[in-house]
């Protein structure tokens, strides 16, 4: 049977790798097999196209390219300039942005670029100028103390972690917490929804330099027009981290007040997740911040990754195709069908449903912690991740929730009918799992009890559900 180009490309690559380190080739093949056989419901994961994956495995990986297009610190970067310019062009056109910076290696890097750009634009400081000229990892404790003394209490207001915010929005364990004096806004305890009046009140009281919107575990839309009005009322720079829902913006599911790009001063994102590209980040902004953003390397970033920028160009070009809008719409339809299926079976959902790509299950209704639920589902062929819920009694490690998302299964072609079946499988596992006990005989937050026979049965059913929706159907490795 003749093999197509995709099969030939991946088979050939594995043969070359196997000639050097066969265990790596085996692990790559095993990863594809595992992903083909499991229900991937991690909201931050997806499946990149073969073209995107192949764009990362080439000679661009060999090239250093510090600087920006046309202003590199290394010679011979004309081809890197080409792919970076293409990626930036596709990003601008896709999102309707004035300026796009596609060098960040991750969402965290994109946020750091944005934070430093805002500080540099708003604050005159010799210590800041010194920091801009160096890589952030080279700053000593003395440098940090000098910077904080000169900057004063530069303040950031962002969504709290347990309400669905992200670690990079000013929390102490992250470097953003070292740069800013941070305060959080939460959600309404009764509804789990953002209360814009309370956000405005917090902004008036705290007077932040930066107001951050965006989330990693909030299952609703955010009104960015209102958030911009709040930022303007206190003279704050309005930043949106759309890493999770960028695909819904690109696919024109989030428009008007719910599209962050027309309302924010600066927008950051990852390029994987719902955008379905390679692992990486990007920054969008207007002309007033463009020069500062373009200094991301070497201020925050090391050498950009030209092979990943090439893959970003491919993925962003794919997202500009008409069929991507249908894909984005189906992500939300699937998430809502999954939520409805869970609710019918008695599950407790944060906010009672979803308007985006993710669903947050409060598993205390099943008598479990998030850690117990996560592992029990994994044993049954369902890949999720534990996540805190608002006012979580179990903290950020054990948690009380499970976050599930539909971008990856939507890429495979599953629809709303399959989401109801998926809800049934999830409920079957969680309703038959119980908390275990620790060595001292007390209830454990990690140990659990699940009949292995049931786990095996659910795993088979999950695999059977996926049979009609093959992953990378044109790639044959065997």
Dihedral Cα 58, 63, 67, 72, nearest 10 deg: -120
Verify whether residue 66 is a known catalytic residue: yes
441 to each of 311, 436, 437, 438, 444, how far by Cα in Å? 52, 9, 5, 5, 9
Q: What is the dihedral of CA 197, 199, 203, 209, to 10 degrees?
A: -140
76: alpha, beta or left? (left if phi > 0; alpha if psi -120 to 50): left
Could you give the CA distance from residue 186 to residue 29 in angstroms, rounded to a whole number?
43
Exactly one of 241, 294, 340, 379 is catalytic; which is it?
A: 241
Per annotation, catalytic residue among 11, 64, 121, 225: 64
Q: Note if 270 is an active site residue.
A: yes
Packing angle of the helix pair 370-379, 452-467 (nearest 10 deg): 70
Catalytic residue among 72, 155, 276, 279: 279
Residues 93, 250: Cα–Cα separation, whole Å: 10
Q: How many residues are listed for the chain in this entry?
A: 478
Which one from 273, 295, 371, 412 is the annotated catalytic residue? 273
Is 255 among the catalytic positions? no
Q: Which of 52, 168, 237, 270 is catalytic?
A: 270
Whether 279 is catalytic is yes
Active site (annotated) includes residue 241: yes
Q: From start to end of 276-407, where are the E strands?
A: 281-285, 358-362, 382-383, 385-387, 401-405
DSSP assigned state of 73: S
For 358-376, the three-class secondary structure string (H helix, E strand, C coil) is EEEEEHHHHCCCHHHHHHH
The residue from 45, 66, 143, 424 that is catalytic is 66
Residues catalogued as catalytic: 64, 66, 241, 270, 273, 279
């Amino acid at each position: 049977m003749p093999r197509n180009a995709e099969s030939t490309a991946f088979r050939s690559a594995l043969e070359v790798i196997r000639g050097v380190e066969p265990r790596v080739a085996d692990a790559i093949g095993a990863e594809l097999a595992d992903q083909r056989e499991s229900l991937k419901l991690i909201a931050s994961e997806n499946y990149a196209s073969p073209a995107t994956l192949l764009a990362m495995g080439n000679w661009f990986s060999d090239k250093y390219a510090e600087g920006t297009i046309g202003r590199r610190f290394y010679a011979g970067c004309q081809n890197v300039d080409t792919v970076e310019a293409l990626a930036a062009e596709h990003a601008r056109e896709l999102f309707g942005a004035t300026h796009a910076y596609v060098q960040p290696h991750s969402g965290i890097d994109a946020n750091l670029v944005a934070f430093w750009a805002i500080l540099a634009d708003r604050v005159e400081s010799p210590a800041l100028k010194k920091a801009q000229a160096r890589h952030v990892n080279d700053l000593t404790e003395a440098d940090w103390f000098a910077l904080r003394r000169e900057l004063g209490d530069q303040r950031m207001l962002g969504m709290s972690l347990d309400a669905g915010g992200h670690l990079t929005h000013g929390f102490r364990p992250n470097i953003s917490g070292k740069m800013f004096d941070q305060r959080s806004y939460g959600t309404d305890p009764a509804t789990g929804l953002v209360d814009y009046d309370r956000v405005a009140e917090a902004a008036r009281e705290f007077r932040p330099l930066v107001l951050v919107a965006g989330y990693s575990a909030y299952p609703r839309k955010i009104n960015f027009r209102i958030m911009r009005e709040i930022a303007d009322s206190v003279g704050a720079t309005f930043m949106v981290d759309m890493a999770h829902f960028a695909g819904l913006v690109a696919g024109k599911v989030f428009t008007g007040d719910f599209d962050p790009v027309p309302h924010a001063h600066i927008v950051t994102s990852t390029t994987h997740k719902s955008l379905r590209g390679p692992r990486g980040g990007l920054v969008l902004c207007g002309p007033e911040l463009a020069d500062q953003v373009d200094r991301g390397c070497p201020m925050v970033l090391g050498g950009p990754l030209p092979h990943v920028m090439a893959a970003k160009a491919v993925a962003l070009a794919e997202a500009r195709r008409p069929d991507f809008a249908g894909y984005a719409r189906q992500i939300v339809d699937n998430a809502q069908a999954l939520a409805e299926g869970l609710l019918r079976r008695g599950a407790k959902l944060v906010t009672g449903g979803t308007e985006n790509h993710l669903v947050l299950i409060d598993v205390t209704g099943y008598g479990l912690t998030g850690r117990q639920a996560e592992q029990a589902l994994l044993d049954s062929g369902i890949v999720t991740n534990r996540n805190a819920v608002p006012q979580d009694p179990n903290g950020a490690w054990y948690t009380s929730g499970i976050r599930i998302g539909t971008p990856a299964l939507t890429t495979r072609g599953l629809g709303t009918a399959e989401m109801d079946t998926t809800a049934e499988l999830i409920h079957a596992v969680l309703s038959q799992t119980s908390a275990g006990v620790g060595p001292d005989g007390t209830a454990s937050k990690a140990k659990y009890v699940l009949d292995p026979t049931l786990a095996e049965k659910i795993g088979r059913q999950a695999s059977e559900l996926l049979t009609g929706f093959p992953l990378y159907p044109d790639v044959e490795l065997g």
